[in-house]
A and B are shown apart, each in its own frame.
Chain A
């Protein structure tokens, strides 16, 4: 009665351990997701961008009501004459920044949602507030479902989703490819529509990739020979060309595997068909009931025995 114990306990530990190990094995065995090149995206060419920020202004104009965007005042600007966001934020979905290495070496860069093929934010959202449209590939946010847990912010490798920290009724803010605004009215995103130098192309991912490859081919030496977003984290629909190292522009060096695949496979294997939890519950019930039955037979005798023991221990 006193020592059946450690074996039972190790059994439980072993079972959960095995489930997790199976998770790892599963992660390597299973095939990766398919990239859909018919989905919509944008190609940003940093070498063409002149930094006029027309895209930023157009984005805010078009999406301010629907996307809960606002003008951000600079510290020096007491009259509120300019919109001067320092970074993507709860008021700003897209942003142009200048990266300057030296007087001759500099580049503009545009930040906005990358619209991943296998988005981490969609994978982690507990209430399906982040979704990816199967046909257009747009990663969209629904504030009516969102609970504001900010797991999407933890998960996004590009730090794109932003939270409205200063509001009592906050929401997540990020680019949705003008899904409910400019795209509906004019069939193109506001930023791509207004760009005066053609630095932002809007279209299907396959056409954008073709265009990017063409530019790389026709201008040897002009660009870094890499289309950022083609392979990163399983492929993104927002693609970049640049003459400067991408990580210097704030675009992190990332592996080609989608982080969401890694985490989902571990999670799926543990909870596949909910078999493991149910089996665990069943086994534990069986053990516990058996123990209780055994316990009842000896309960009275044992009780007084332990009491006496406890007493003598204390006396000593």
Chain B
């Protein structure tokens, strides 16, 4: 499992999509500044009836599920022992890192008194009854774990880099302003290299314990994200309020995790003009329907047990959202049961997208759509509130785009054919898509 499985994607960083994403990010962060100056009410439509809006529902509850690619891949590789998926894990971990890091950031935007967050580290303030306490600690710990898991990519780069950009910038600076190069710079850079080279093998040795921690922590906090709403027994619609919320959220994040790993691979291969990883993806896709079948069985069994099946079929407002969520997940899974469809990138993409949408809608249903605090309360996110979420997501994609171009993250292309495929891809992308279709 060496570091030679990955490679940097050599391409320009300043692309048109970079500019678009950067603009969205800047708008979002501008509005975040406004929120801290004028209060949450100035940018959001949240109210005392709907104290959790789109930031918690999307950025935290759904965003971390979408960021479960790293979790799902780690289970597959290290626990189910499919080491040949190993080359895919680094990009999955990178997206997880952004997903979780930014979920944490969103929480800091969302909470009213973030400067008191240090209380999470003061034992006398701990409150083990609170699912929120568990989620907060686990998410913080898991973000740290993800950083550690990603560290080898950074260390490899530090070890091999010749600091060309830095040298170039310093030279430019010297020419323009006459500022001298710092003394003994080369020595210092050399020592950075040495530290990286020293640290890497040592980190490699203990990394597996970190990785397993990275499997345990999401198991804990993803189920606790479901537990968060257990207390709101009078507010969450009976279609979704059940003692099985923690179990449903856990399975939900697993099938979203695998599906999103498929989507990410397809999208990044398409965007970066790399050959599709069809074989690996169809392998992943075989797992998904089993998970969704378990999930759907628990959902139906639980509804039947609580006598809510008729409510699910009543076609009122709540029932429609329930059926939509259910059909999206079930429909996507049905497609994946077919072996032939699993071999086609288009069908893989479509079914994974359906399942992610359905799984995400489930979380929206629990947190927002099925949440009714009583008469007179309404919620729909404001434009500024949405733009903050869009800005955070844009920043996430931006970071991924940039990092895969400066660090060895994507799976290494090994063979002549694969490399040729890239060449063909670059020349005539349309042709390649046509070939894929056939």
User: B44 to chain A: which residues have CB within 8 Å?
Assistant: 165
Q: Assess A292 versus B39: contact at CB under 8 Å? Given A8-B80, A148-B112.
A: no
Of A126, A159, A168, A299, which is within 8 A of B48 by CB? A159
Q: Taking CB as reference atom, which chain B residue is nearest A9? A: B80
Collect the chain B residues with CB atoms within 8 Å of residue A17's CB.
Answer: 247
Contact B51 A150 (CB under 8 A): yes
- Whether the Cβ atoms of B79 and A259 lie closer than 8 Å is no
- Indicate whether A195 reaches chain B with its CB closer than 8 angstroms: no
Interface residues on A, range: 35 or more
B358, CB-defined interface residue at 8 Å: no
A1 & B417 in contact (Cβ 8 Å cutoff): no
Q: What is the CA–CA distance of A17 and B250 in the complex, to the nearest angstrom?
A: 10
A311 interfacial contact with B, CB 8 Å: yes
Contacts known (A150-B51, A295-B1); A302 close to B83, Cβ less than 8 A:
yes
Most buried by B among A153, A154, A270: A154
Q: Please tell me if the beta carbons of B81 and A266 are within 8 angstroms of each other in the complex.
A: no
List residues of B (96-135) whose CB comes within 8 Å of A's CBs. Answer: 107, 110-114, 116-117, 119-120, 124-134
Query: Which chain B residues in 389-412 approach chain A with CB under 8 Å?
Result: none
Interface size on B, residues (CB 8 A): 84
Q: Which of A16, A124, A170 contacts B131 (CB under 8 A)?
A: A124
A106 located at the interface, meaning its Cβ lies under 8 Å from any Cβ of chain B in the complex:
no
The reply on A275 being an interface residue by CB < 8 A is: no
Chain B residue contacts of A143, Cβ below 8 A: 113
- A79 at the binding interface (Cβ < 8 Å): no
CA distance A302 to B130 in the complex (A): 47
Instruction: Give residues 15-39 of A contacting B (CB, 8 Å).
Output: 16-17, 20, 23-24, 27
Q: Given the complex, which residues of B lie within 8 Å of A165, measured CB to CB?
A: 39-41, 44, 46-48
Given contacts A127-B116, A147-B113, contact A159 B39 (CB under 8 A): no
- B231 and A166 contact, CB distance less than 8 A: no
Is the pair B80, A123 in contact by a Cβ cutoff of 8 Å? no
B-chain residues with CB within 8 Å of residue A154 when the two chains form the complex: 51-52, 228-229, 231-232, 235
Tell me the residues in window 222-240 of chain B with beta carbons closer than 8 Å to chain A beta carbons.
223-224, 227-235
Q: How far is the CA of A186 from the CA of B44 in the complex (A)?
A: 42
Q: Are B116 and A271 in contact (CB under 8 A)?
A: no
Which A residues touch B119, using CB under 8 A?
A: 127-129, 145, 147
Task: Return chain B residues, CB-CB under 8 Å to A194.
Answer: none
Main secondary structure of the interface of A (DSSP, over half): helix
Known: A147-B113, A310-B279, A311-B414. A267 touches B227 (CB 8 A): yes
One of B41, B223, B275, B418 near A270 (C-beta < 8 A): B223
Q: Looking at the complex, which one of A24, A128, A159, A288 makes contact with B125 (CB distance below 8 Å)?
A: A128
Q: Are A151 and B79 closer than 8 Å at their CB atoms?
A: no
Q: Is the CB of A128 within 8 A of B83?
A: no
Closest to A264 in B: B129
For B135, the closest partner residue in chain A by CB is A126
Q: For the complex, is B38 an interface residue (Cβ under 8 Å from A)?
A: yes
Do the beta carbons of A166 and B42 come within 8 Å of each other? yes
Q: Tell me the residues in window 125-182 of chain A with beta carbons closer than 8 Å to chain B beta carbons.
A: 125-129, 143-151, 153-155, 157, 159, 161-171
Q: Is A263 in contact with chain B by the CB < 8 A criterion? A: yes
B-contact bits for A89-106, CB 8 A (1 contact / 0 none): 100000000000000000
Binary interface profile of B, 207-249, with partner A (CB < 8 Å = 1, else 0)? 0110111011001100110011111111100000001101100
Interface residues of B in 6-25 (CB under 8 A from A): none
A300 to B: closest C-beta gap in Å? 11
Bound-state Cα–Cα, A219 to B416, Å: 95
Contact A254 B234 (CB under 8 A): yes
Q: Is A78 part of the contact surface with B, judged by Cβ < 8 Å? A: no
The answer to the question of A52 belonging to the interface, with a C-beta cut-off of 8 Å to chain B, is no
Q: Which residues of A contact B233 (CB under 8 A)?
A: 157, 255, 259, 262
Decide yes or no whether B415 CB sits under 8 A from chain A: yes
Partner of A284, one of B36, B47, B84, B216: B216
- State in angstroms the CA–CA spacing of A119 and B48 once bound together: 18
Whether A260 contacts B231 by the Cβ 8 Å rule is yes
Is there an interface contact between B247 and A145, defined as CB atoms closer than 8 Å?
Answer: no
B215 touching A151 by the CB < 8 A rule? no
- Please pick, from B36, B40, B234, the residue contacting A157 in the complex, using a CB distance under 8 A: B234
With known contacts A148-B111, A155-B232, A12–B79 Cβ distance under 8 A? yes
- Which residue of chain A has the shortest Cβ distance to B138 in the bound complex? A277
Q: Which of A13, A88, A161, A171 contacts B113 (CB 8 A)?
A: A171
- Could you list 10 A-B pairs, sorted by A, with CB under 8 Å? A27-B243, A123-B130, A127-B126, A150-B52, A153-B51, A154-B52, A284-B78, A284-B79, A299-B1, A313-B278
Residues on A facing B (Cβ under 8 Å): 1-2, 4-6, 8-9, 12-13, 16-17, 20, 23-24, 27, 87-89, 120, 123-129, 143-151, 153-155, 157, 159, 161-171, 252, 254-255, 259-260, 262-264, 266-268, 270-271, 277, 280-281, 284-285, 287-289, 291-292, 294-295, 299, 302, 306-307, 309-311, 313-315
Q: List 3 A-B pairs, minimum CB-CB distance, nearest first.
A: A148-B112, A165-B41, A150-B51
